[in-house]
Amino acid sequence: MKKVLVTYNMFREGFVEMESKYKVTYPEKKSFTYEEVLDLIPAYDVLCSMFNFPVTKELIDRGTKLQLIANYAVGYENIDVAYALEKGLTVANTPGPVTAPTANLALALLLDTARRVTEYDRKLRMKGQGLKVSLSENLGVAVEGRTLGIIGMGRIGKAFCKRAIACGMSVIYHNRRRLSLDEETKLGAAYVSFEELLEQADFVSLNAPSTKETYHLIGEGELKRMKPSAILVNTARGVLVDEHALVKALKEGVIWGAGLDVFEFGDHPLPGLLELDNVVMTPHIGTQTVTSRIEMAKAVSDNVVGFFEGDRPVARVLHP
């Protein structure tokens, strides 16, 4: 019987089928340490890793029976994918269940920032007895009739596109590869160059992966290309944005605001962001719902079962 090592003891509802077919080992506590997995891995055919668990060359080399690394995440920065593939292993991720909740959060951040929801909530709580709002000052931004620019038109970008159009926005996009005319027509999105997107969009949403090419995709120069009334939304990866340049741009009014779920330096936003009213922040909660978490576990299980039984697709990671 195939043996599966799971680094986390959570969302077990999603693993029912995998447990019925294979011998599955979970930690007694919430998660295994790296050292514990290093000791256990030689006996296992599959490693199911959490998105923050490092799957290193050392660990891969210790997994002499290892055939599959099934990551609980759409991202896979925690895995040395190049080395795993070189060693003949399969790496899989969970893009499906991540799509809708992340697109919903992107829309929520856009609307919150534009209508100053969190800002007014905070000020109202601080006042305690109520807050008088001027009819002509501290106004929000309308979304209907405005243009959303999506950088990265993959699964999440497409889902966000549909939601934006439902809110009355028009959508332009830039992607490494342009979509087919048929898909553009169905989505209702128009392809533009990266520079044109920055100049034309009222809202700029980052939905691209973290690669060498996308590191600091948005820096001082790109921020200056954007409209002074523009809002930047990032639910992708923090390193896509030069955070020091973003703080400076927000303070100086180069752009109007930002809605951020991810940050350049891990879970720690720059202190300058914390001081600004025109920023809405969440701590990387794109899939932070009960349903999403269980569905991600089921996707991991499907990858494992599909890999061994060949009865369903496996979400393979084909390159780093």
pLDDT of residue 226: 98
Domains 3-93+289-309 and 99-281 share a fold: yes
pTM: 0.90
pLDDT at 133: 72
Task: Return the pLDDT at 267.
Answer: 85
Task: Kindly report, residue by residue over 222-262, the tens digit of the pLDDT.
Answer: 999 999 999 999 999 999 999 999 999 999 999 999 999 99
Task: Supply the pLDDT for residue 129.
Answer: 62
pLDDT of residue 268: 92
Spell out the domain ranges in the chain.
Answer: 3-93+289-309, 99-281
Burial class (CB in 10 A: 0-12, 13-18, 19+), 1: exposed
Number of Cβ atoms within 10 Å of the Cβ of 171: 25
What residue type is 187 in one-letter code? Answer: L
Confidence (pLDDT) at 239: 97
Alpha-carbon distance of 271 to 251, in angstroms, equals 13
Per-residue pLDDT, 128: 67
What pLDDT shows up at residue 266?
A: 87
pLDDT along the chain (320 residues), means of 10: 96 96 96 97 98 96 98 94 97 96 98 95 79 75 97 97 98 97 97 98 96 96 98 97 98 98 94 97 94 96 98 94
Q: How far is CA 240 from CA 195, 223, 260, in A?
A: 16, 12, 12
Q: Which residues are bridge partners to 218 per DSSP?
A: 241
What's residue 136's pLDDT?
65
Tokens 């044109």, residue located: 196
- Choosing among 3.30.70.20, 3.30.365.10, 3.30.1130.10, 3.40.50.720, the CATH entry for 99-281 is 3.40.50.720
**Fold of the CATH domain 3-93+289-309:** Rossmann fold (3.40.50)
Whole-number Å distance between alpha carbons of 286 and 298: 18
| Tokens 């979400």 found at | 315
DSSP string, 255-311: SSEEEES-BTTBT---HHHHT-TTEEE-SS-TT-SHHHHHHHHHHHHHHHHHHHH-S
Instruction: Summarize the chain as % helix, strand, coil (round to 5).
Output: 40, 20, 40
Give ∠ CA 146-151-153 in degrees, rounded to 5: 100
